[in-house]
Structure 1
Amino acid sequence: MNTYTFTLAGAKLVALPSGALWWPDEALLCVSDLHLGKSERIARNGGALLPPYETRDTLFRLDADIRETTPRTVVCLGDSFDDLDAANALTEEQTLWITRLMAGRRWIWIEGNHDPGPIDFGGMHLAELHTPPLYFRHIARFGTSAEVSGHFHPKASVSRRGHRLTRPCFLLDSDRVILPAYGTYTGGLHSDHEALNKLMRAEALAILLAKPPHPIPMPRS
């Protein structure tokens, strides 16, 4: 199978090669940091004119994961939109696409630092979600456990055949899992960054996005 299965606080979870997290027992699909509308936000603020295809590509992959898993609940872990204006600037096609994906299921928007307020879509808008035994929030909290979060866009590097390969990754230890950014136009923070070193236990794994996802000891400085 093109997945990686692990247990957090007794919950059996599945890392998908797209960067989504699947909780079969709850029929819950979780994604983080979609950053929809990023190219529009950059152009609006005088930045580079990037090809405006990232929203469509991100929604295409999310659509595929939803069709594959048929979740009852979808949790978007914050920074779903690159800012609140980007949510309002989506095309009619994109808005209808999101509305169609939401139809018939429980959809939860967790607040992020890029989208801290309610957006003009349906679903539930929460600061965080507790579905026992797990807590879903945008930014990990030091000293907590049973936590699913995003925000950091983690990535990790391995050397293979003399070449350095860098991939987005999940970070996993006995306390938490940090999801990679799901959005197409998103950078990443290397796993050896001080912020991630402080959060993750010594035995932490980096689960590199691949088919299937590939676990390695979390690279550190």
Structure 2
Amino acid sequence: MYYQLINFGNEEFHAYPNKSLYWKRLNTLIVSDLHIGKSISYAKNKQFLPPYDTKEILNKIFVSLDKIKPSNLIIVGDLLHDVFSTLSIKDQDYKNLSQYMKNTDFIWIKGNHDKNIQIEGFKNFTNYKIDKFLFTHIPIETSLFQICGHYHPKVKISHKGKTIFKTSFVHNEKIFILPSFGILTGGLDIHSKQISDVLGKNNLSIYPVGQDKVYKL
């Protein structure tokens, strides 16, 4: 798979167009904000979305695991949209997940949407430390390098008189925010107050995600 090389915390990471991040040295795949089952959650409130998100997201995960064969999969929060979302995961999905868990260690960082949900076979944590890196859904005060999610970052790009927003990887010197791996998720401008309060406004490394390529601004 094509990737964009990113150096963060003196480590080599690969950013993929499917919005996953690969930590080369530790053969670890990282994703965030899948929001599995969002459509079924919205449907209970009579807000109807295409009901295919769970299948598509799980297929994205399975394809990545087949191609990369990581030792670890770290999910940096909001694996599920809410407790109702578990109803969208079928028995065969659980069987497929169990098969992949035989070769890959699944590490689930709890997010604000799924903090009270349990799934058999998933190790779950509030945050998770590896060497000088902390994996957490929302950044916290720490001297460690952080890899997190929550904000679903997007960047505004103007070209030939047109302005579009593209999903983006973004980091400063210490904090790396992943894009949402989900398919029914919105996003925040990287220059919004919420993200600027975390990353600041200057010296940002920005990587917009195209259909088949991750770019560097």
Query: TM (normalized to structure 2)?
Result: 0.92
User: SS of the counterpart of 1:58?
Assistant: helix
Counterpart secondary structure, 1:195: helix
Q: 1-side partners of 2:109 and 2:15: how far apart? A: 20
> 2:191 aligns to what?
192
CA contact (8 A) 1:87 1:119 kept: no
Residues 189, 47 of structure 1: alpha-carbon distance in 2 compared, 3 angstrom cutoff: farther
Per-residue deviation at 1:83? 0.8
1:203 equivalent in structure 2 = 203
Q: Could you tell me which residue of structure 1 aligns to residue 113 of structure 2?
A: 114
Q: Output the CA distance in 2 between the equivalents of 1:61 and 1:15.
A: 15
**C-alpha distance in 2 between matches for 1:101 and 1:167:** 31
**% identical aligned pairs:** 25
- Amino acid of the residue matched to residue 138 of structure 1? H
Runs of 4 or more consecutive aligned structure 1 residues displaced over 3 Å after TM superposition: 142-145
Q: How many residues align?
A: 215
Aligned partner of 1:219 in structure 2 is: none
> In structure 1, the residue corresponding to 2:124 is in which secondary structure?
strand
After superposition, residues 1-221 of structure 1 pair within 5 angstroms as 2-44=2-44, 46-141=45-140, 144-201=143-200, 202-210=202-210, 211-216=212-217
> CA offsets per residue over residues 3-36 of structure 1, 9 Å max, x none?
1112222221111111101001101000001100
Structure 1's unaligned 5+ residue stretches are 217-221
* 1:2–1:16 CA contact under 8 A, matched in 2: yes
Shift of 1:172: 1.4
User: Deviation per CA, 1:131-169, whole angstroms, max 9, x where unpaired?
Assistant: 112110101125654100000011111011221121111
Spell out, residue by residue over 1:48-99, the C-alpha distance to the aligned partner (whole angstroms, 9 max, x if none): 2222101111111111211121100000111000012312442223333333
| Structure 2: segments with no counterpart, 5+ residues | none
Q: Which moved more, 1:157-166 or 1:181-190?
A: 157-166
* Mapped partners of 2:90, 2:73: distance in 1: 22
